[in-house]
Structure 1
Amino acid sequence: MSGMGAGEVRESYRTLDRWLKAAPADLLSSRSRQAELFFRRMGVTFAVYGDAESNERLIPFDVVPRIIAANEWRLLERGLKQRVGALNAFLKDIYGPQECIRAGVIPADIVLTNPQYRPEMQGRRPPGDVWCHIAGIDLVRTGEDGFQVLEDNARTPSGVSYMLENREMMMRLFPDLFAEHRIHPVDTYTDTLLRTLQSGAPGSAGDDPRIVVLTPGPFNSAYYEHSFLADKLGVELVEGTDLFVNDDTVFMRTTEGPQKVDVIYRRIDDDFIDPLTFRPDSAVGVPGLMAAYLAGNVTLANAVGTGVADDKCVYTYMPEIVRFFTGEEPILKNIPTWRCREPEALKEVLGQLDQLVVKEVGGSGGYGMLVGPAATKAEIETFRAKLIAHPEEFIAQPTLSLSTAPTLDGGTLQPRHVDLRPFVLTSPAGVRVTPGGLTRVALKAGSLVVNSSQGGGTKDTWVLDD
């Protein structure tokens, strides 16, 4: 945008720039207040663990859209399909012949001793042979390098409800601005998701498989999304106690008696889905679920064991994984990353801790990480001790000069750092990418942390049509 210290207005933003110049000075601020009121009424919230002041908060919503040009999106879409195709092939292989390990593409210990590796799935193939039905790939744009992958979310990626709600909000608040752009719709996501889940049902399910969304319950931080998606899909939202297993078949308790369940879109991590197989102290899972799953009588989306693919150390091998399984060069590049498990890399990282971002390989949500330039000397020294004691548990990346997007702050537009999480759906018929995704924005000046649990907000993402 003009006047934002980044030179000329991007081509994709020119219509918005003209519109803003012609709009009343307080228009964005008043629409922003309206949006907050709407979201509050609708109950669009998320919970924050360990927050004594408030169990639930609104995720701040910025009314200035993030706009992506059609040609840029086409390249992104190709890259996302390639990457998620490779992720699924990788999962199929590590739980099958393990050719990528034998070929030296990735060290055996990184896979086989990974906390998310599930030996129960070795030699197994999920119904439809799809492992990761729903993926959320986090992207950042850095300087002139275009979009790069920051991390892969292959377990239970969240945020799609905010993508859909943000679009609905923008259409309600800015119909005239919409009329001046040709924007790809995102509301087809739930129809595509429903077809993805249906097509992955076990062969015994027939033409109309019964699908449920399995939630840990109202105290989960993403519970709003679970109920939102169940509603949009037109399926039941269930907790573990609503389901039971009999003769390796999953049933749902209803007022009309037990009903067979064919597909479970589960929003519970592997550790908790079945107390008979995994954590015996889980109160949110379904006893016997794994037996039904391994018998091929129910589909779990995503499959058990997909967590290996979103491990941050495995991420560092994704370029090699893409080449091995597709025979192509990766369209989307990784952020340069040091594997602290390697002595030379560890030495380099320890020498410049105050300049790097250090992450736990199994961490998520912006927790358990060191942002060197923003850390105190004491925090850096504490992390140094952790790195020396357990280097294999960490990776390090440069502090990125992330691209910014115009964001409303105090009534004026200011540059704020953003990332993008597109949602990628895989079925036996192929890979589909929703045009857009969830743009997360760091609302504090200079901040690089966009996670909602750490004070970040969201924007609507517009992908322009030709």
Structure 2
Amino acid sequence: MSIDWKSYDPNGFYDELISSPGYPRAAARTLTSYLRSLSDEEIHERKAAAEHAIVEMGITFTVYTEGGNIDRAWPFDIIPRIIPRKEWMRVEEGLKQRVTALNLFINDLYNEQKIVKDKVFPKEVLAQSKNFREQCVGIQPAHGVWAHICGSDLVRDKDGTLYVLEDNLRVPSGVSYMLENRQVTKRVFPELFENYSILPVDEYPSQLFDMLASLSPRPLDYPEVVVLTPGIYNSAYFEHSFLAQRMGAELVEGSDLLVGEDDCVYMRTIGGLERVDVIYRRVDDLFLDPEAFNPDSMLGVPGLMRAWRKGNVALANAPGAGVADDKVVYAFVPEIIRYYLDQDPIIPNVPTFRCMYPDEREHVLKHLDELVIKPANESGGYGMLIGPHASKRQRAEFADLIKKDPRNYIAQPTLAISTTPTLCDGHLEPRHVDLRPFILQGVRTDVTAGGLTRVALRKGSLVVNSSQGGGSKDTWIVDTES
């Protein structure tokens, strides 16, 4: 037999499927028993079938290199990650709580700024925010929601506690891979879907469309919704086209749209101009409108901000939502939840040191060899210092960076991030994972059943990003009494 669970050892980390060598967690027993019954040849065939399906379905991601952009097949591991539904219900509640508070926070910052006046959120953090947009001050978007689509990254520590690692509120990506992972897994293990009660994820595109439609400034049964993409060279173009197709929405670039003299947005079509009601924009703020932001942008639509400000078009996510997508703001989210909702956070933050405060900064500088240092606005695993794996020179360089701009840095302990069994060169080995659920907020709030599990395919690595060698797995929320 190919898989011997007794010899699988997560080396002291919390494992998502196995509680101890030879003993699967209750929710994973059916899966582990089934995998044990497969021969080496059968497992190889399933893996090959998954790789073939990914190529056949055209599931790719783009890596930027010095020599140009390279499209690569999506890296996927066939062994799913399993979370019991009972646990997930609490996580879902916590995610809804978090995104509700964050939207109240963003709306407050662009209007009355009560949280700043009440000295719960420091005015100096807002003053130095790279993502606060003066062009958005005074705007009240539909339902008071700015971040309509949020992807919050979750990690599990050694004791099994789930933490929010960060919130992605600007242009969160990855949901298409969550959906495609499920389709590939159904092809590879169709029989398992007969033996498990696995919560579906397939309804996400319709939920996304309904949420976007709820933002429409015109009371129509079928408002005109479009997906605005930077174009085919963007790393997430696969997702842009995938979601547009699944929603039955037009995929457009900036040159396909114009703002008329009536300050409404129109789409150029073969039959003439058609008014657009809602734009799901996958273009960063600064490139959205050359009149309001970067005048050299060729990706946006001149006058778009004017049309949005006058309430003639809805934008999701709203420009300026990124003010809360800042790792220093992240450190204040527990206070933000208490301030707006008068509740304690259901899902905790990772313990975080804010270098802007002298006592916390002093602690960080003394313990650089133990901590992970993150700049406020980098993403994709870039710009970080992982203290235990860094050289003395690297730590000294980061110490200088922190001293020069303390507001721009936070520090966190190095978590013993959970693992899950992964097929590596024909063998079963533990690999570290995180989870990105997607939360939709409009008239109502919906959370995906699970999300995108990203896996660090390199042995010992904690970096799960596909651009740095990571892959992904299907995520099963299973109904079980255990």
TM-score, normalisation: structure 1: 0.97
The answer as to whether partners of 1:138 and 1:151 remain within 8 angstroms in 2 is yes
- Where does 1:140-151 land on structure 2 (aligned, <5 Å)? 140-151=155-166
Residue of structure 2 equivalent to 1:44: 59
Residue of structure 2 equivalent to 1:393: 408
Q: For the residues of structure 1 that align with 2:193 and 2:207, how far apart are their CA atoms?
A: 24
Residue of structure 2 equivalent to 1:457: 471
Q: Give the secondary-structure state (helix, strand or coil) at the position aligned to 1:353.
A: coil
Query: Can you list the C-alpha shifts for 1:410-453, whole angstroms capped at 9, x where unaligned?
Result: 1121111100000000012x211111100000011111100111
Residue of structure 1 equivalent to 2:9: 4
User: CA shift at 1:374, angstroms?
Assistant: 2.1
1:447–1:330 Cα change, 3 Å:
same
Unaligned runs of 5+ in 1: none
The answer as to whether partners of 2:371 and 2:388 remain within 8 angstroms in 1 is yes
The answer as to whether partners of 1:417 and 1:442 remain within 8 angstroms in 2 is yes
Residue of structure 2 equivalent to 1:447: 461
The answer as to whether partners of 1:28 and 1:63 remain within 8 angstroms in 2 is no
Residue of structure 2 equivalent to 1:354: 369
The answer as to whether partners of 1:205 and 1:262 remain within 8 angstroms in 2 is no
Which of 29, 35, 41 is residue 26 of structure 1 equivalent to?
41
The answer as to whether partners of 1:213 and 1:264 remain within 8 angstroms in 2 is yes
Unaligned runs of 5+ in 2: 11-18
Amino acid at match of 2:356: R
Which of 341, 345, 358 is residue 343 of structure 1 equivalent to?
358
Q: For the residues of structure 2 that align with 1:143 and 1:378, how far apart are their CA atoms?
A: 30
Q: For the residues of structure 2 that align with 1:96 and 1:53, how far apart are their CA atoms?
A: 43
The answer as to whether partners of 1:130 and 1:200 remain within 8 angstroms in 2 is no
Q: Give the secondary-structure state (helix, strand or coil) at the position aligned to 1:175.
A: coil
User: CA shift at 1:145, angstroms?
Assistant: 4.9
User: CA shift at 1:54, angstroms?
Assistant: 5.7
Query: Can you list the C-alpha shifts for 1:149-198, whole angstroms capped at 9, x where unaligned?
Result: 00001111000000000000000110112211100000010111110000
Residue of structure 2 equivalent to 1:164: 179
Which of 214, 218, 221 is residue 235 of structure 2 equivalent to?
221
Q: For the residues of structure 2 that align with 1:164 and 1:326, how far apart are their CA atoms?
A: 32
Q: For the residues of structure 2 that align with 1:26 and 1:450, how far apart are their CA atoms?
A: 29
Which of 150, 154, 157 is residue 135 of structure 1 equivalent to?
150
Q: For the residues of structure 1 that align with 2:69 and 2:250, how far apart are their CA atoms?
A: 29
The answer as to whether partners of 2:331 and 2:354 remain within 8 angstroms in 1 is yes
User: CA shift at 1:406, angstroms?
Assistant: 0.9
Moved more, 221-230 or 355-364: 355-364
Which of 119, 139, 147 is residue 104 of structure 1 equivalent to?
119
Residue of structure 1 equivalent to 2:449: 435
Q: For the residues of structure 1 that align with 2:41 and 2:126, how far apart are their CA atoms?
A: 54
Q: For the residues of structure 2 that align with 1:260 and 1:112, how far apart are their CA atoms?
A: 37
User: CA shift at 1:294, angstroms?
Assistant: 0.3
Q: For the residues of structure 2 that align with 1:273 and 1:322, how far apart are their CA atoms?
A: 30
Amino acid at match of 1:62: D
User: CA shift at 1:51, angstroms?
Assistant: 4.8
- Where does 1:346-425 land on structure 2 (aligned, <5 Å)? 346-425=361-440
Residue of structure 1 equivalent to 2:247: 233
Q: Give the secondary-structure state (helix, strand or coil) at the position aligned to 1:16.
A: helix
User: CA shift at 1:213, angstroms?
Assistant: 0.1
Residue of structure 2 equivalent to 1:333: 348
The answer as to whether partners of 1:140 and 1:403 remain within 8 angstroms in 2 is yes
Q: Give the secondary-structure state (helix, strand or coil) at the position aligned to 2:179.
A: helix
User: CA shift at 1:53, angstroms?
Assistant: 7.5
The answer as to whether partners of 1:245 and 1:292 remain within 8 angstroms in 2 is yes
Residue of structure 1 equivalent to 2:100: 85
Q: Give the secondary-structure state (helix, strand or coil) at the position aligned to 2:270.
A: coil
Instruction: Indicate the percent of aligned positions where both proteins have the same amino acid.
Output: 51
1:54–1:238 Cα change, 3 Å:
closer
Residue of structure 1 equivalent to 2:202: 187
Q: For the residues of structure 1 that align with 2:64 and 2:374, how far apart are their CA atoms?
A: 20
1:85–1:226 Cα change, 3 Å:
same
Amino acid at match of 2:159: E
Moved more, 30-39 or 450-459: 30-39
Q: For the residues of structure 2 that align with 1:420 and 1:26, how far apart are their CA atoms?
A: 30
Query: Can you list the C-alpha shifts for 1:119-138, whole angstroms capped at 9, x where unaligned?
Result: 22212101232211110010
Q: Give the secondary-structure state (helix, strand or coil) at the position aligned to 2:272.
A: coil
Equivalent residue pairs, number = 464
Residue of structure 1 equivalent to 2:224: 210
Query: Can you list the C-alpha shifts for 1:65-91, whole angstroms capped at 9, x where unaligned?
Result: 000001110110110111111111111
Q: Give the secondary-structure state (helix, strand or coil) at the position aligned to 1:387.
A: helix
Amino acid at match of 2:112: P
Q: Give the secondary-structure state (helix, strand or coil) at the position aligned to 1:286.
A: coil
Moved more, 122-131 or 159-168: 122-131
1:53–1:235 Cα change, 3 Å:
closer
Residue of structure 1 equivalent to 2:215: 200
Which of 175, 183, 186 is residue 190 of structure 2 equivalent to?
175
- 1:426 paired with 2:441, answer yes
Which of 309, 312, 315 is residue 327 of structure 2 equivalent to?
312
The answer as to whether partners of 1:405 and 1:418 remain within 8 angstroms in 2 is yes
Q: For the residues of structure 2 that align with 1:258 and 1:392, how far apart are their CA atoms?
A: 47
- Where does 1:53-132 land on structure 2 (aligned, <5 Å)? 55-132=70-147
Moved more, 46-55 or 370-379: 46-55
TM-score, normalisation: structure 2: 0.94
